[in-house]
Structure 1
Amino acid sequence: MSIRAAIQAIRTTIFYLVYIGQTIILAVIAGTIGILFGRTRFGWAIARYWCWSNVVYLRVLTGMGTEVEGEEHIPPGGCIIASKHQSDWDIFAIFPHTGRPAYIAKKELMRIPFFGWAARSLDCIEIDRQKGAQAIPAMIAQAQSAIDRGCRIVIYPEGTRRAALAPAEYRQGIVRMYSALNVPVVPVALNAGLFWGRNSLVIWPGTAKARFLPPIEPGLDAETFRKRLHDVIETESVRLTLEAIDQGIGRPPDAELRARAATLRTAQDR
């Protein structure tokens, strides 16, 4: 490991200590409030503070900045926000721009004491991924209730974090939710995985970008919607990622990232 990488690893460790420590403390506070009083303005204030402070800590402690664009594409009223997912950054960077979000969260997270209680008080929707497709009807029913309460559903269509420029794998949950809820879907492209990788122990300097894209109208057939969502998110995410690489990033690109970038550049040139 180079001296530069070692220094960045130390900076990352300090960030994780602050990030995890603060998350535990705020989860205890918000979870207790959630159990006693349910959904409250104070609970939402804690969530907004958590997001804002994490963006600041990330920039100050690791050098990873945040830039979010395209908020004007989010329509008024209920909708689904379907975002690329590459790191925890995607959660707290998007949250402040979504009004009253209802995040789709895996069952295991919702079962954590205090954290899960806090998540429920913030309209999070539980999904049991071990049940596969059988879990989707229950998720859709919760999503409909959240829409009726004035929420916007936030979902990661791939269901898990992906490495930057890795092949996409969109799951059926987003398609079935789109068909059932009959609301617009706002795609979100991003490049955060360049700086905060899926399994990386180091968070690298640079500016992570997320972009809300024009909404996909309700009423399309399932396959047309799936292809359109995939194409707009992946095309813009690739563009943001290659653009950042061209401008120079703090992360030393490994062989796999270089190979993916070269393959995608070749495809774009055809």
Structure 2
Amino acid sequence: MILWIRNLLYWLGLAVLTPPFAILAVLILPLPRRLRHRIISGWTHSMLWWLKTTCGLSYKVIGRENIPDTPSVIASKHQSGWETMALQQIFPPQVWVLKRELLWIPFFGWGLATMSPIAIDRGNRIEAQRKLMKQGRARLDAGFWIVVFPEGTRIRAGLAGKYKLGAARLAAQLQVPMVPVALNSGEFWPRNSFLKYPGEITVVIGKPILPDGRDAADMMAEAEGWIEARQREIGGAGPCAHPDDKARRAHARAA
């Protein structure tokens, strides 16, 4: 019962806080991109604080020292909505590569549009790739990092989706580092779940993968191998972890 009450409070806070920020997002559209980003990111910081206060869900970061000094491409695991907020606190100002339909969501989509995302039409792959490269270059030149979820969508904790090459192509063609990120958010904030469970999410940041003449497939293979290896190491900690990860963690503790 307490879990449900705490989650109701979280969703109530989301419902109260989101519309004002969405209206503000429309009003500040004439402002420079970086300033708009700074203003609207206040919603993210507020919601993460509210999530910790109501649901008891916090996080820790391993590998902050691996974050480059220059704008880069972030290739992150995607298990829940949590990382779309938390990555904004962990990394410098950033934009996301996302499906354009997300911008059509009332209130939420308005705020998202203010953050200068690279919104692509997944039904037109050639045009999506052209737009990704053109706008990716513009966002990097403006000082933004670019977040890409290589699996394309949220994947249940303990499972792996098919890693697409978009992030690696972007890094290779624009000659910037690609930073792999592993996390176990789905073990506490399951995909499409109303409930968020108390605990501590772990985020692991890997060493940058540099283009250095490598092709996109080679870079993404390295990123995938690193991310999935870290997933096995940090998996099994949360109440909604995959049974195999729970068993692996229990065996490691007993050893």
User: TM-score per shorter chain, which class?
Assistant: 0.7 to 0.9
Q: What is aligned with 1:157?
A: 150
Displacement after TM superposition at 1:210 (Å): 1.2
Partner SS, residue 129 of structure 1? coil
Aligned: 1:225 with 2:219: yes
Q: What is aligned with 1:68?
A: 61
Q: Is the 8 A contact 1:9 1:201 kept in 2?
A: no
Q: Equivalences for 1:157-176 in 2 at 5 Å?
A: 157-176=150-169
Selected match of 1:32 from 20, 27, 32: 27
Q: What is aligned with 1:199?
A: 192
Q: What is aligned with 1:17?
A: 12
Unaligned regions of 5+ residues in structure 2, if any?
A: none
Could you list the per-position Cα deviations for residues 43-83 of structure 1 after superposition, in whole angstroms to 9, with x for gaps in the alignment? 33333322222221111111111223322212122210111
Unaligned regions of 5+ residues in structure 1, if any?
A: 1-5
Displacement after TM superposition at 1:170 (Å): 0.9
Selected match of 2:207 from 204, 214, 230: 214
Aligned: 1:102 with 2:87: no
Could you list the per-position Cα deviations for residues 141-178 of structure 1 after superposition, in whole angstroms to 9, with x for gaps in the alignment? 11111111111111111111111111232113223223
Q: In structure 1, how many angstroms separate the alpha carbons of the residues matched to 2:128 and 2:34?
A: 28
Closer, same or farther: CA 40–114 of 1 in aligned 2, 3 Å: farther
Q: In structure 2, how many angstroms separate the alpha carbons of the residues matched to 1:98 and 1:252?
A: 26
- Give the residue type in structure 1 aligned to 2:226: V
**TM-score, length basis structure 2:** 0.87
Could you list the per-position Cα deviations for residues 86-115 of structure 1 after superposition, in whole angstroms to 9, with x for gaps in the alignment? 111101111023222121122012234664
Closer, same or farther: CA 231–252 of 1 in aligned 2, 3 Å: closer
Q: Is the 8 A contact 1:90 1:192 kept in 2?
A: yes
Closer, same or farther: CA 99–166 of 1 in aligned 2, 3 Å: same
Could you list the per-position Cα deviations for residues 208-258 of structure 1 after superposition, in whole angstroms to 9, with x for gaps in the alignment? 12122110011322332121010111111221123x2xxxx4x266xxx21
Q: Is the 8 A contact 2:181 2:227 kept in 1?
A: yes
Q: Is the 8 A contact 2:133 2:170 kept in 1?
A: yes
Q: In structure 2, how many angstroms separate the alpha carbons of the residues matched to 1:7 and 1:51?
A: 25
Aligned: 1:237 with 2:231: yes
Partner SS, residue 220 of structure 1? coil
Q: What is aligned with 2:173?
A: 180
Partner SS, residue 200 of structure 2? strand
Displacement after TM superposition at 1:265 (Å): 9.0
Superposition CA RMSD, Å:
2.4
Higher helix proportion (structure 1 or 2): 1
- Give the residue type in structure 1 aligned to 2:218: T
Displacement after TM superposition at 1:199 (Å): 2.1
Q: What is aligned with 1:3?
A: none
Greater shift, 15-24 or 146-155, is seen at: 15-24
Q: Is the 8 A contact 2:188 2:201 kept in 1?
A: yes
Closer, same or farther: CA 238–119 of 1 in aligned 2, 3 Å: same
Greater shift, 140-149 or 48-57, is seen at: 48-57
**TM-score, length basis structure 1:** 0.83
Q: Is the 8 A contact 1:38 1:121 kept in 2?
A: no
Q: Is the 8 A contact 2:103 2:110 kept in 1?
A: yes
Q: Is the 8 A contact 1:183 1:217 kept in 2?
A: yes
